[in-house]
A and B are shown apart, each in its own frame.
Chain A
């Protein structure tokens, strides 16, 4: 009798425990690499800030499908483009709620006023919020929005019309970027009336899958799942960003079970991570390209044969092995393979010292010449060690008689001088913003970008005409053809040696389910679960 009593009490206790465990909130700890600069994505440019803000808290009119660069409807259910490609009409989603937080309770749902507010703040210099929090909208300006947009108008509560000064096909992709996050106009008004508009950028309110709870600088950011999210509630209940700048310590936290996912592992730790039974290591090619640009305004690089010869003289595989170790892949095109219109038919220059020598001799340089290679002073995803890379290229070129001197400057100075074209050849790279080929090809190789981000100072009309045409067409198949053709011309003209696309690694705990690597390098936790 006594035993039966004990057993029944014990079984009740076990059931209670099971209920308690199943009811326990699922807390996901992301071991982030740094502190956000703030929580209004339009004001900043760093991926760390976007991870903490736009990717968890906000939605955009158009969005990228999770883990891809494919554009899908977001807060706009659909959009129409006028035949001349200059008028974009967005039809907004109904029934979307803004977050209710300890500092704001919305009284209305999302509508056109919120879209107008979010863009006019950046566009209109007289907008009451334009100058708040420093008021520099680098992405909005960087994507040429002030010159591109003619007007933004509310047609009715659920229709917004953007009129452009010229046709621009990548415009929809731009609308999915972080700077285009939609904020609550009602919240902005409230903060303005309360005389605390700065708080608007530090205590965010959005429509995204997570609600902001608190931020302790350099320590933690806390979020909870938004119960009324229009796409359905997130599978995890709480999300914590545990800010840990050192990669080795992030790895230790992951191993000790204090975090579920970490970004940017040390390349040196990758081998151990692959063997670690407690860790899942996901990998994907990054949306970037590392390159060496020839300054075509320098006499020796004006002939394409010289550029082709020096491209052939570089042993890219040796660079991948020595500089990238396991974290890079040879690049043959100026856009990464994860972007649509990547032309896989393009043939890269094979490593061929004899062929390179012959080409150089034919171009009038049988004894080579003297030049310089600029090596970046910083580590970037597309180039983890520019100095080492420059040394390998220097060695390779010496075999064809080209003597190169390696030059480096402080990073800001390096960018400025290379923009002005002071270099002969320069190592640099690019990480894509919106998954559109135009964001690589036109930004880095277009005639408009000479003297700015076109480090080769290369303006080649047949190539540029294709880019211009592609901007004016909205049919994606037609654009694909144009960009594929552009890549063929690029390879033949060889203004750059395309060196590598990095491979992005994401180490995570085995309990993490359905995490997808974001091609833009971000971290999106909606859709992720814990088992």
Chain B
């Protein structure tokens, strides 16, 4: 198992180099000059322009900029934002808890509903339930997030008044942010109603963000279950007279979960990086929205730093998934 872990761990380095190189090249390929964008219609004189580029380190050839960047990253320095002039790591850490909180809740929503729905649809193949789940998941998967989010806001928040429109907590609660996780901070604040307010603010964004993963999990679990249910060992288990619940939950599900776990791992990465639209609609102060704004402002250190941290996290999540395979299915760790 330790050997397996190290083998997987070594795969991280080429991925890491690839991410830094790709991010660096791509953002420098986008046309646009960070200094000119800041000056806007007002314009900037050439001497000041050159001085500002030098201050930002953009006057050097690209390869020098890249190696300097990598050197700083290895020292743990992701640079300072061109816009706010604050360290990128500090900005990221301020915003990341919000993304993590939202992604975690969206993931719970997707797994808790998607996996059981997929299992039941698989077991009851061809029934009305199966068709409903598959139809609904296809709809959920194809739904444009922006439209879906606005629709939810208009119906649940504006029309019914059940949930707040956006933000993380009502403007009436002035609680201190310690951990950055609003649910925890609100709970610790002891202000009556604060936790309820934070929770109610989380419901719609978590549902919207969790919709696509939910659809993916339901479909994946169903097809995986269908395959496993055809296997000899399931037939054997049934022939042995085991109860249907035991056959499904112990014999079939454990094997059916391998591809599902892969997808859950991949979707975790997608959620961390891809919450941009949900964060924008719900004014959720997370890293997705921050990276998007940084791209618009050509804030290179923030884009590079933000993507690097997220990519590193995704690499680690995938490493975790790989290791989990090894635990669930010992054959994988021996053959690889």
Chain B contacts to A: CB under 8 angstroms? 30-33, 36-45, 48, 52, 55, 80, 82-86, 91, 94-95, 98, 150, 153-154, 157-158, 161, 164-168, 170-172, 174, 176-177, 280-283, 285-286, 289-290, 293, 298
Say yes or no: is A285 at the interface (Cβ < 8 Å to chain B).
Answer: no
A202 to B220: give the CA distance in the assembly, Å.
48
Say yes or no: is A45 at the interface (Cβ < 8 Å to chain B).
Answer: yes
**In the complex, which of the residues A217, A240, A259 contacts B285, with contact meaning CB atoms closer than 8 Å?**
A217
- A selection of 22 A-B contacts at a CB cut-off of 8 Å is A37-B84, A134-B85, A136-B55, A214-B177, A216-B285, A217-B91, A220-B167, A242-B167, A243-B285, A244-B283, A252-B158, A256-B157, A256-B161, A258-B164, A258-B165, A412-B33, A412-B36, A412-B298, A416-B36, A419-B43, A431-B41, A452-B45
A468 to B274: give the CA distance in the assembly, Å.
55
Whether the Cβ atoms of A218 and B285 lie closer than 8 Å is yes
Say yes or no: is A142 at the interface (Cβ < 8 Å to chain B).
Answer: yes
Say yes or no: is A400 at the interface (Cβ < 8 Å to chain B).
Answer: no
Contacts of A430 in B (CB 8 A): 41
- The contact string, 1 if C-beta is below 8 Å from chain B, for chain A 20-59, is 0000000101000011011000010100000000000000
Pick the most buried of A37, A43, A141, A429: most chain B CB atoms within 10 A of its CB: A37
Whether the Cβ atoms of A242 and B164 lie closer than 8 Å is no
Identify which of residues 124-174 in chain A touch chain B, using a CB-to-CB cut-off of 8 Å: 133-134, 136, 138, 141-142
The verdict on A249 contacting B41 (CB below 8 Å), with A217-B285, A256-B164 known, is: no
B91 to A, closest residue via Cβ = A217
The verdict on A428 contacting B41 (CB below 8 Å), with A136-B52, A252-B154 known, is: yes
Whether the Cβ atoms of A138 and B38 lie closer than 8 Å is yes
Say yes or no: is A270 at the interface (Cβ < 8 Å to chain B).
Answer: no
Say yes or no: is A413 at the interface (Cβ < 8 Å to chain B).
Answer: yes
The number of residues on chain A lying at the interface, defined by a beta carbon within 8 Å of a beta carbon of chain B, is: 54
A249 to B, closest residue via Cβ = B166
Whether the Cβ atoms of B285 and A249 lie closer than 8 Å is no
Contacts of B44 in A (CB 8 A): 138, 142
A56, chain B: closest CB distance, angstroms? 16
Say yes or no: is A77 at the interface (Cβ < 8 Å to chain B).
Answer: no
Contacts of B150 in A (CB 8 A): 248-249, 252
Chain A contacts to B: CB under 8 angstroms? 27, 29, 34-35, 37-38, 43, 45, 133-134, 136, 138, 141-142, 198, 201-202, 213-214, 216-220, 222, 238, 240, 242-246, 248-249, 252-253, 255-256, 258-259, 409-413, 415-416, 419, 428-431, 452-453
Contacts of A142 in B (CB 8 A): 39, 42, 44
A494, chain B: closest CB distance, angstroms? 21
A288, chain B: closest CB distance, angstroms? 10
Whether the Cβ atoms of B158 and A413 lie closer than 8 Å is no
The verdict on A38 contacting B43 (CB below 8 Å), with A253-B165, A256-B158 known, is: no
A367 to B321: give the CA distance in the assembly, Å.
71
B90 to A, closest residue via Cβ = A217
**In the complex, which of the residues A133, A134, A213, A249 contacts B283, with contact meaning CB atoms closer than 8 Å?**
A249
Contacts of A238 in B (CB 8 A): 174
Main secondary structure of the interface of A (DSSP, over half): mixed
Contacts of A256 in B (CB 8 A): 157-158, 161, 164-165
Contacts of B283 in A (CB 8 A): 218-219, 242-246, 249
Whether the Cβ atoms of B48 and A141 lie closer than 8 Å is yes
Contacts of B84 in A (CB 8 A): 37-38
**In the complex, which of the residues B36, B55, B95, B166 contacts A415, with contact meaning CB atoms closer than 8 Å?**
B36
A477 to B238: give the CA distance in the assembly, Å.
99
A475, chain B: closest CB distance, angstroms? 29
A136 to B, closest residue via Cβ = B52
Contacts of B31 in A (CB 8 A): 409-410, 412-413
**In the complex, which of the residues A134, A245, A258, A411 contacts B171, with contact meaning CB atoms closer than 8 Å?**
A258
**In the complex, which of the residues B30, B40, B165, B285 contacts A252, with contact meaning CB atoms closer than 8 Å?**
B165
A500, chain B: closest CB distance, angstroms? 16
Whether the Cβ atoms of B32 and A29 lie closer than 8 Å is no
Given known contacts A252-B154, A412-B31, what 8 new A-B pairs fall within 8 Å (CB)? A217-B285, A249-B165, A256-B161, A256-B165, A258-B166, A258-B170, A409-B31, A410-B31
**In the complex, which of the residues A34, A213, A410, A453 contacts B41, with contact meaning CB atoms closer than 8 Å?**
A453
A246 to B281: give the CA distance in the assembly, Å.
6
A327 to B209: give the CA distance in the assembly, Å.
35
Contacts of B293 in A (CB 8 A): 34-35
Contacts of B43 in A (CB 8 A): 415, 419, 452-453
A256 to B154: give the CA distance in the assembly, Å.
9
Contacts of B286 in A (CB 8 A): 218
Contacts of A217 in B (CB 8 A): 91, 94-95, 285, 290
Q: Give the top 6 A-B pairs by smallest Cβ distance, nearest first.
A: A218-B285, A219-B285, A410-B31, A134-B85, A412-B36, A244-B283
B246, chain A: closest CB distance, angstroms? 49
Whether the Cβ atoms of A240 and B171 lie closer than 8 Å is yes
A411 to B153: give the CA distance in the assembly, Å.
33
A430 to B, closest residue via Cβ = B41
Contacts of A38 in B (CB 8 A): 84-85
**In the complex, which of the residues B39, B172, B289 contacts A27, with contact meaning CB atoms closer than 8 Å?**
B172
A133 to B, closest residue via Cβ = B85
A73 to B154: give the CA distance in the assembly, Å.
46
Contacts of A43 in B (CB 8 A): 85
B176 to A, closest residue via Cβ = A214
B159, chain A: closest CB distance, angstroms? 9
**In the complex, which of the residues A45, A219, A245 contacts B168, with contact meaning CB atoms closer than 8 Å?**
A219
A394, chain B: closest CB distance, angstroms? 23
Whether the Cβ atoms of A219 and B32 lie closer than 8 Å is no
A252 to B282: give the CA distance in the assembly, Å.
11
The verdict on A249 contacting B281 (CB below 8 Å), with A27-B171, A258-B164 known, is: yes
A218 to B82: give the CA distance in the assembly, Å.
17
The verdict on A410 contacting B32 (CB below 8 Å), with A240-B171, A249-B165, A453-B42 known, is: yes
A136 to B85: give the CA distance in the assembly, Å.
11
Whether the Cβ atoms of A429 and B41 lie closer than 8 Å is yes
B163, chain A: closest CB distance, angstroms? 9
A449 to B172: give the CA distance in the assembly, Å.
49
The verdict on A255 contacting B158 (CB below 8 Å), with A217-B91, A411-B32, A416-B36 known, is: yes
**In the complex, which of the residues A243, A244, A412 contacts B37, with contact meaning CB atoms closer than 8 Å?**
A412
A253 to B157: give the CA distance in the assembly, Å.
9
A34 to B, closest residue via Cβ = B293
Contacts of B85 in A (CB 8 A): 38, 43, 133-134, 198, 201
Contacts of B94 in A (CB 8 A): 216-217
A43 to B38: give the CA distance in the assembly, Å.
11
